[in-house]
Amino acid sequence: MKYTVIVHIMPRTEILDPQGKATQAGLQNLGFPFGNVRVGKRVQLEVQADSPEAAEASVQEAAKKLLVNIITEQFTIEIQ
């Protein structure tokens, strides 16, 4: 079966996010008083697997090996 899997990747909360800070400053300059802006990535994969669990396990492995820097980033997986 074919699954669409989304990997949401964000900087760890204890890691400085310069892109988030720059975005926050730009938003505030435009009159949007948002606080604590963090910028991340979204990776969408099409996965062929026997079950949603197998698809998730495959993507977990791919995320840890290539998609995510596990030292500075955290991730969640969403199966659609």
Question: In the predicted model, what is the mean pLDDT of the chain?
Answer: 97
The widest CA-to-CA distance across the chain, in whole angstroms, is: 50
Cα–Cα dist 2/49, whole Å: 6
For residues 39-54, average pLDDT: 98
Cα–Cα dist 61/79, whole Å: 15
Report pLDDT for 64: 97
Q: How confident is the model at residue 50 (pLDDT cuts 50, 70, 90)?
A: very high
For residues 21-28, average pLDDT: 97
Cα dist from 62 to 21, 57, 69, 77, whole Å: 29, 9, 11, 11
Report pLDDT for 77: 98
Q: How confident is the model at residue 57 (pLDDT cuts 50, 70, 90)?
A: very high
For residues 55-79, average pLDDT: 98
Count of domains forming the chain: 1
* Residues near 72 by beta carbon (within 8 Å), at least 6 away in sequence: 11, 12, 15
Q: Which domain holds residue 10?
A: 2-79
Report pLDDT for 80: 93
